[in-house]
C-alpha cells in the first residue's frame, strides 16, 4: 500500500518528463501486447460503446431537426468520422499523450508539467484554476458515465422482453454494485477479464458495418471532410443541433488520456489504431449506409444493422460491453485523485498499488466508494438512461476545451512550438470543441445542470483544501521553528532539557524544521531522547529502489549529539514502511547503532478547529477541518507499531 503522507516528499521531477519521454514504469517489450489487451477492456469501453446510441440520438434530436436525407446523412457521418479523427486520434492519441507527468496522463498531468516549467504567479494561478475546473468536470463525468452506461445496457433487455422493464432499475443497482466491488483487485486484473469481451465487441462492430458499406458504397464519400464542411455551411442550425449528438461519439476521450498511467501510451496507441478506430469508423459508416438505403431505420440504427436472428445475442453482448464502458472513467478517476493529492488539491488518500510492474495501476478505496454512492443515487433518482442523456455531454466538452487550453500553453511556453502549429491546432481542434460545448450548453435546463452541480461541489472541495492547507502550513511552520535553532538550545541548555535513554523516531517531511512532536516533548516534558531519528520518505518515479540505494543518512548535530536524519527512497511498488527503511540504516553511523525493537515512534498531529479569525469563510473552515481529520491514517500508511507509536502535536484555530 502507498499513500500520500505528511512525512513524504513528492516524487522527484523527471528530467525526461514531456514529449516522447520514456519512463521507468512504461510497458516494455513483451508487456505491450498484454497491456494493449487490458486497455481494450478498460480504456476504450466508453468510446467503444457509443455506436449503440450516438446515431439514434443525432437523428432524434429536437423533433427530428436532422433528417435522413442524403445530404444530412453524409454530412453527419463525415462530422462523426472527422470528429473522432481530430479530437481522439490527433489531439489525444498523437499529441496529448506525449505530455505525460512521469507516465501519468490527464488534465492534472498537464497542470503538474506547467507548474514545473512556467514562471509567474498570474500564469500559475490561471493554470491551477483551469486544472481544478477540469478535474471537477471529469469527476462529474465519472459519476454520470457509469449510471448512463449501465442503465442503457440493462434497458437493452427490454428489446427482447418488454415485461422485464420493472427489473431494469434493481438489476442496474446490482450490476453497478458488483462493478465497484471488483475495483479492489486492480485495473490490470479487471482489464484482463474485460479485454477478451471487448475484442469480441469490436470485431462485431466491424462485422456489422462492413456488409452495409459493401451494399451501399456511396457512404464512403463521407470520408471526405468536404461533406462535413458543406453540411455546416448549407444548414448551420441543423449542423449545430447535430453536434449535440455527434459529441457522444467521442465521450471517453479524456478518460483515455487519464488512463495512460494504467497501461502506458504505447499500449493504448496500439489498441486504438489497430482495433478501436477501424471498428468504430466501419460501424458508423455502416449505419450511415443503412440509413441512406432505408431512412426508417433511424429509430434504432445500431441493432437494425444485425439480422433478426442475431438481435438477442447482440443485446446480451451490448449489455456486457456497456457495463465495461464505465470502467474507463472509474480507473481514470483513481489516477486524477492521486494527482490531485500530489498537487495539493485534495487531502491525503490511501492509495493501493495493484501491480508490481505498472505504477499507474492503483486503487483508491475512498474515491471508489464516493463514486459508488454518487452513481447509485443518480441511477435511483433519474431511473432511465434517456433522462440522463441531456447531462452526458456538457462535462465531457468542458473538459475537452480545458485540456486543449492547457496543452496549448505547454506547447507554446514549454516545448516552444512554432506559432503556426498552434494556430493549426486551434483551427482544427479547438473550433470543433467550441462547437460541441455550444451545442451542449443548450441542454443545461433539461439536465445539463447535473455535471455543473457536481463540478461546483468538487471545486469547492479543492479550493477549500488548498486555501486551508496554505493557512495551516503557515501556522505550522511558525510552531515548528527552524531545526538548527532547536538543536542549539538542546545542546547549550542541558539544565532545561534533559536527555533520557531510548530511541525516538519522528516521521517528518523535511530536514529544516522541527517536528511538532519533538518540540512538544521538549516543551512540556523537558526531555529529549538520547537518540533522535528524523525520517523522511521520498517517492521516486521508478518501480523499485534497491535496498543498497534506499537510504541516506545525515548527522544533524555535532558528533555524539544523537541527532540524525534518514531519507528513505521508495519506488511506486515499494511500501512506505518506515521501520523496514530504518532497518536498512541501522549501523551506518554511531547515532544509528540502535535496537529498533525498543524504538518509539512519535507522530506530529495538528488539531484543527474552525473557530479562529482567518480570512476563510466559516463554512470553508469547517469543511477543511472535516477533510483534514478524515485524511488517511499515517500510522497505517507508515506501518508503525501501534503499541510503540505516540501521537503528539499542537492545536491550531483557523
Q: What is the mean pLDDT of residues 59-75?
A: 80
pLDDT attached to residue 19: 37
More confident residue, 23 or 194: 194
Tell me 633's DSSP state.
P
User: For 551-565, 602-616, 619-633, which range has the lowest pLDDT when averaged over its residues?
Assistant: 602-616
Sheet holding 2-3, edge to edge: 2-3, 350-353, 362-363
Query: For the chain, what's the residue count?
Result: 654
**Would you say 584 and 567 are in contact if contact means Cβ atoms under 8 Å apart?**
no
Highest mean pLDDT among 257-271, 385-399, 592-606: 592-606
Residue given cell 439514434 in the structure block: 56
Q: pLDDT band at residue 10, thresholds of 50, 70 and 90?
A: very low
Q: For helices 107-117 and 121-155, what crossing angle results, to 10°?
A: 170
Residue given cell 512525512 in the structure block: 7
Contacts of 258 (CB under 8 A, 6+ apart): 105, 106, 107, 138, 332, 333, 335, 336
Q: pLDDT band at residue 494, thresholds of 50, 70 and 90?
A: confident
Q: What is the mean pLDDT of residues 300-304?
A: 87
Rounded distance between C-alpha atoms, residue 596 and residue 474, angstroms:
34
Q: For helices 365-382 and 121-155, what crossing angle results, to 10°?
A: 50
Residue given cell 492545536 in the structure block: 651
DSSP three-state, residue 383? coil
pLDDT attached to residue 159: 61
Q: What is the mean pLDDT of residues 424-447?
A: 89
| Cα 611 versus chain centre, distance | 34
Q: pLDDT band at residue 4, thresholds of 50, 70 and 90?
A: very low
- Nearest alpha-carbon partner for 278 in 351, 223, 331, 343: 223
Rounded distance between C-alpha atoms, residue 117 and residue 109, angstroms:
13
pLDDT digits (tens, 9 = 90+) for 365-410: 889 999 999 999 988 888 877 677 667 778 788 889 999 999 999 9
Q: What is the mean pLDDT of residues 448-453?
A: 84
Rounded distance between C-alpha atoms, residue 180 and residue 175, angstroms:
9
pTM for the structure as a whole: 0.75
**Would you say 41 and 327 are in contact if contact means Cβ atoms under 8 Å apart?**
yes
**Would you say 149 and 326 are in contact if contact means Cβ atoms under 8 Å apart?**
yes
Rounded distance between C-alpha atoms, residue 596 and residue 580, angstroms:
10
Q: What is the mean pLDDT of residues 169-174?
A: 89
Q: pLDDT band at residue 39, thresholds of 50, 70 and 90?
A: confident
Rounded distance between C-alpha atoms, residue 634 and residue 605, angstroms:
10
Examine the pLDDT at 605 and tell me if it is beyond 60: yes
Contacts of 389 (CB under 8 A, 6+ apart): 53, 57, 148, 447
Residue given cell 521508495 in the structure block: 570
Q: pLDDT band at residue 21, thresholds of 50, 70 and 90?
A: very low
Q: What is the mean pLDDT of residues 63-69?
A: 75
Q: What is the mean pLDDT of residues 276-281?
A: 97
Examine the pLDDT at 81 and tell me if it is beyond 50: yes
SS3 content of the chain, % helix, strand, coil (to 5): 65, 10, 25
Examine the pLDDT at 526 and tell me if it is beyond 50: yes
pLDDT digits (tens, 9 = 90+) for 306-346: 888 888 888 888 878 877 777 767 887 887 887 788 778 88
Query: What percentage of residues in the chain have a pLDDT greater than 70?
Result: 90
pLDDT digits (tens, 9 = 90+) for 576-585: 889 999 999 9
Contacts of 168 (CB under 8 A, 6+ apart): 151, 154, 155, 157, 158, 384
Q: pLDDT band at residue 613, thresholds of 50, 70 and 90?
A: low
**Would you say 81 and 281 are in contact if contact means Cβ atoms under 8 Å apart?**
yes
User: For 198-207, 358-367, 444-453, which range has the lowest pLDDT when averaged over its residues?
Assistant: 358-367
pLDDT attached to residue 216: 95
**Would you say 335 and 135 are in contact if contact means Cβ atoms under 8 Å apart?**
no
DSSP three-state, residue 59? coil
Average pLDDT over the chain reads: 84
| CB count in 10 Å sphere of residue 5 | 22
Amino acid at each position: 500500500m502507498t499513500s500520500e503522507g505528511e512525512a513524504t516528499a513528492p516524487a522527484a521531477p523527471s528530467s525526461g518528463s514531456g514529449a516522447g519521454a520514456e519512463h521507468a514504469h512504461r510497458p516494455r517489450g513483451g508487456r505491450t501486447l498484454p497491456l494493449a489487451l487490458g486497455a481494450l477492456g478498460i480504456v476504450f469501453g466508453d468510446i467503444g460503446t457509443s455506436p449503440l446510441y450516438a446515431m439514434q440520438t443525432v437523428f432524434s434530436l429536437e423533433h427530428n431537426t436532422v433528417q435522413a436525407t442524403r445530404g444530412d446523412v453524409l454530412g453527419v457521418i463525415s462530422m462523426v468520422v472527422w470528429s473522432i479523427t481530430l479530437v481522439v486520434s490527433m489531439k489525444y492519441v498523437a499529441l496529448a499523450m506525449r505530455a505525460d507527468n512521469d507516465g501519468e496522463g490527464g488534465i492534472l498531468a498537464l497542470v503538474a508539467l506547467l507548474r514545473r516549467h512556467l514562471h509567474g504567479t498570474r500564469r500559475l494561478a490561471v493554470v491551477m484554476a483551469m486544472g481544478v475546473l477540469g478535474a471537477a468536470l471529469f469527476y462529474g463525468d465519472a459519476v454520470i458515465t457509469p449510471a448512463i452506461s449501465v442503465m442503457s445496457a440493462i434497458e437493452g433487455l427490454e428489446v427482447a422482453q418488454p415485461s422485464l422493464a420493472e427489473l431494469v432499475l434493481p438489476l442496474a443497482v446490482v450490476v453497478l454494485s458488483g462493478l465497484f466491488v471488483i475495483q479492489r483487485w486492480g485495473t490490470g486484473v479487471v482489464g484482463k477479464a474485460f479485454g477478451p469481451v471487448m475484442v469480441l465487441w469490436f470485431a462485431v462492430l466491424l462485422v456489422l458495418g462492413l456488409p452495409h458499406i459493401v451494399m451501399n458504397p456511396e457512404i464512403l464519400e463521407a470520408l471526405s471532410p468536404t461533406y462535413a464542411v458543406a453540411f455546416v455551411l448549407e444548414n448551420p442550425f441543423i449542423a449545430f443541433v447535430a453536434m449535440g449528438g455527434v459529441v457522444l461519439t467521442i465521450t471517453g476521450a479524456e478518460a483515455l488520456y487519464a488512463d495512460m498511467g494504467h497501461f502506458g501510451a504505447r499500449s493504448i496507441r496500439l489498441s486504438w489504431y489497430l482495433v478501436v478506430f477501424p471498428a468504430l469508423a466501419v460501424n458508423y459508416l455502416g449505419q450511415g449506409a443503412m440509413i441512406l438505403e432505408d431512412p426508417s431505420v433511424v429509430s434504432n440504427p445500431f441493432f437494425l444493422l444485425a439480422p433478426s436472428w442475431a438481435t438477442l445475442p447482440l443485446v446480451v453482448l451490448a449489455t456486457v460491453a456497456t457495463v465495461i464502458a464505465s470502467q474507463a472513467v472509474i480507473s481514470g478517476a483513481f489516477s486524477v485523485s492521486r494527482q490531485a493529492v500530489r498537487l495539493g488539491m485534495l487531502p491525503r488518500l490511501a492509495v493501493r498499488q495493484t501491480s508490481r510492474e505498472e505504477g499507474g495501476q492503483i486503487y483508491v478505496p475512498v474515491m471508489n466508494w464516493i463514486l459508488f454512492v454518487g452513481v447509485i443515487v443518480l441511477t435511483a433518482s433519474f431511473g432511465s438512461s434517456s433522462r440522463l442523456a441531456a447531462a452526458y455531454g456538457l462535462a465531457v466538452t468542458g473538459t475537452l476545451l480545458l485540456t486543449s487550453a492547457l496543452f496549448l500553453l505547454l506547447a507554446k511556453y514549454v516545448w516552444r512550438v512554432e506559432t503556426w502549429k498552434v494556430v493549426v491546432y486551434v483551427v482544427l481542434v479547438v473550433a470543433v470543441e467550441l462547437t460541441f460545448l455550444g451545442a451542449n450548453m443548450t441542454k443545461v435546463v433539461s439536465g445539463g445542470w447535473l455535471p455543473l452541480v457536481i463540478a461546483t461541489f468538487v471545486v469547492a472541495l479543492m479550493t477549500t483544501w488548498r486555501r486551508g492547507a496554505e493557512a495551516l502550513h503557515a501556522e505550522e511552520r511558525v510552531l515548528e521553528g527552524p531545526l538548527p535553532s532547536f538543536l542549539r538550545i538542546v545542546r547549550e541548555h542541558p539544565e532545561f532539557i534533559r536527555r533520557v535513554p531510548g530511541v525516538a523516531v519522528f516521521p517528518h517531511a523535511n530536514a529544516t524544521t522541527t517536528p511538532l512532536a519533538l518540540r512538544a516533548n521538549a516543551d512540556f516534558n523537558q526531555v529529549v531522547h538520547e537518540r533522535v531519528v528524523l525520517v523522511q520518505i521520498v517517492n521516486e518515479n521508478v518501480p523499485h529502489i534497491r535496498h543498497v540505494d534506499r537510504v541516506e543518512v545525515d548527522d544533524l548535530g555535532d558528533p555524539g549529539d544523537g541527532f540524525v536524519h534518514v531519507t528513505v527512497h521508495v519506488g511506486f511498488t515499494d511500501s512506505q514502511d518506515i521501520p523496514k527503511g530504518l532497518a536498512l540504516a541501522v549501523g551506518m553511523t554511531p547515532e544509528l547503532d540502535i535496537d529498533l525493537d525498543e524504538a518509539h515512534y512519535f507522530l506530529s498531529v495538528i488539531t484543527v478547529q474552525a473557530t479562529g479569525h482567518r480570512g476563510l469563510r466559516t463554512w470553508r473552515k469547517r469543511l477543511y477541518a472535516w477533510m483534514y481529520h478524515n485524511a488517511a491514517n499515517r500510522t497505517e500508511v507508515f506501518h508503525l507499531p501501534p503499541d510503540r507509536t505516540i501521537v503528539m502535536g499542537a492545536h491550531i484555530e483557523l
